Amino acid sequence: MANIIVLGAGVMGSAFAQLLADAGNDVRLVGTHLDQDIIDSIKHDGLHPNLNVKLPGRIGAFSYEELDQVLAGSIQLIVFGVNSAGVDWAVNQIGSRLKTIIPVLMLTKGLAPVDNSIKILPHVVQKGLSHFNIVDIPIAAVGGPCIAGELAARRESSVVIAHPESQFLDRLLALVDTPYYHARASTDLIGVEVCAALKNFYTLAIGYATGQLEKKGKAANGALMHNLAAGLFTQAMAEMSYFVNFFGGQPDSVLGLAGVGDLYVTCQAGRNGRMGNLLGKGLRYKEAKSNHMPNDTVEGAELALGIGKTLNRWLADKKIDGNSIPLATKIVEAICDNLPLQIPWTLFYQDT
């Protein structure tokens, strides 16, 4: 159907490459400078060592040093499968080589400070590509509950693909049309992206509950701490709604796959929940990161470090309502100031 480049051979980029191949596309999976061992393994026998699956033969594996060769043919779509820290690298790699307008689909989630504002990553990529005189490039994004390992195992997954133009969305949906990948269209790019970024951020707090349980243990009657986790989940949803409205997104996105769906699945497993667990045990962020997760990119913590100063400045200037985001302020405090994570229960549920 199409020739597609996936930039980033980590677990999500590679699982998505398999999906694209299953949908009948020819896929060129390009590893970053950190992915060489993965690319070498795929070239050898097709095995992705981190996903523990053999990728289909329609997927060609390339190192980033071969990107000129990869872009030499006719390409209909470029997928960004790097983590949030790799977005600038990806923009530079593509921007310096791109000769024609090729649409971009982003798997990468996040928000980034730009001057005195906070932007969704598709807008950051647009601005970055404009420095290479690449303008008016369509950039869409994928949101929703989709764990890479489950996608690689071809388990049923439901997602939302977002872009303001419906016709472009229709073309993207056709490129991922498989029996196990249930993609819906949304024109609310801002709302979907804000939710996609914040679900990692708020999972840090919801994961706090499991850490508290491990620290304090079961009650004498065997009781756990589901109530604690549910209370934090509810406040997180309320604050995500506030942020989506603040940035100009649509409230339906919060109650859909990109919001409640993705927050739910992110709380079940993953790096953000593990960091939250460590914070719940009483560890401070720097200790938890250096001693227990030194090689992991914790997207929620990276988001806090990225936007924390801007958010605090907005709070001081009353540009944003601090009464509506008490949990967010405590997460930022815990990550940016390396303080114990405190749960401000008396400030919750003010608008409910």
The confidence score (pLDDT) of residue 350 equals: 74
In a domain, 38, yes or no: yes
Asked whether residue 55 falls in the same domain as residue 201, the answer is no
Asked whether residue 182 falls in the same domain as residue 253, the answer is no
Could you tell me the pTM of the whole model? 0.93
Asked whether residue 29 falls in the same domain as residue 141, the answer is yes
Last residue of a domain, one of 155, 187, 219: 187
pLDDT tens sequence across 219-233: 999 999 999 999 999
Asked whether residue 68 falls in the same domain as residue 172, the answer is yes
The confidence score (pLDDT) of residue 351 equals: 58
Asked whether residue 214 falls in the same domain as residue 300, the answer is yes
Please tell me the least confidently modeled range out of 67-76, 188-197, 226-235, 243-252.
67-76
Asked whether residue 182 falls in the same domain as residue 199, the answer is no
Mean pLDDT of the chain, nearest integer: 95
- The torsion of the CA quartet 138, 149, 180, 252, rounded to 10 degrees, works out to -50
* CATH code for the domain in which residue 285 is found: 1.10.1040.10
pLDDT tens sequence across 113-157: 998 899 999 999 999 999 999 999 999 999 999 999 999 999 999
Residue positions annotated with a catalytic role:
199
203 pLDDT more than 90: yes
In a domain, 288, yes or no: yes
In a domain, 268, yes or no: yes
Asked whether residue 176 falls in the same domain as residue 88, the answer is yes
For the chain, how many residues are written? 352
Asked whether residue 157 falls in the same domain as residue 247, the answer is no
352 pLDDT more than 60: no
In a domain, 103, yes or no: yes
The Cα 126–Cα 112 span in angstroms is 13
Last residue of a domain, one of 187, 213, 248: 187
Average pLDDT estimate for 10-22: 97
Instruction: Give the full edge-to-edge strand order of the sheet including 104-106.
Output: 59-62, 26-30, 3-7, 77-80, 104-106, 139-143, 157-162, 181-186
Backbone dihedral region for residue 8 (phi beyond 0: left; psi -120 to 50: alpha; all else: beta): left
pLDDT tens sequence across 286-336: 999 999 999 988 999 999 999 999 999 999 999 999 999 999 999 999 999
Asked whether residue 206 falls in the same domain as residue 140, the answer is no
Average pLDDT estimate for 10-35: 96
Q: Which domain holds residue 272?
A: 190-347
Last residue of a domain, one of 163, 187, 211: 187
- Tokens for 121, please give them: 């990553």
Confidence class for position 164, pLDDT limits 50, 70, 90 = very high
In a domain, 303, yes or no: yes
Q: How far are the Cα atoms of 204, 221, 287, 301, 327 from residue 334, in angstroms, in the given order?
A: 10, 32, 12, 9, 11
Asked whether residue 38 falls in the same domain as residue 119, the answer is yes
Provide CB contacts within 8 A for 253, sequence distance 6+: 143, 160, 186, 188, 191, 192, 194, 195, 244, 259
- Tokens for 350, please give them: 């003010």
In a domain, 16, yes or no: yes
Asked whether residue 40 falls in the same domain as residue 181, the answer is yes
Q: How many domains does the chain have?
A: 2
The Cα 252–Cα 244 span in angstroms is 10
Radius of gyration of the chain (CA): 20
Provide CB contacts within 8 A for 183, sequence distance 6+: 142, 158, 159, 160, 161, 172, 173, 176, 177
Asked whether residue 181 falls in the same domain as residue 225, the answer is no
- Tokens for 152, please give them: 């690689």
In a domain, 352, yes or no: no
* CATH code for the domain in which residue 134 is found: 3.40.50.720
How crowded is the C-beta side of 230, counted as CA atoms within 13 Å? 4
In a domain, 165, yes or no: yes
pLDDT tens sequence across 62-119: 999 999 999 988 999 999 999 888 899 999 999 999 988 999 999 999 899 998 899 9
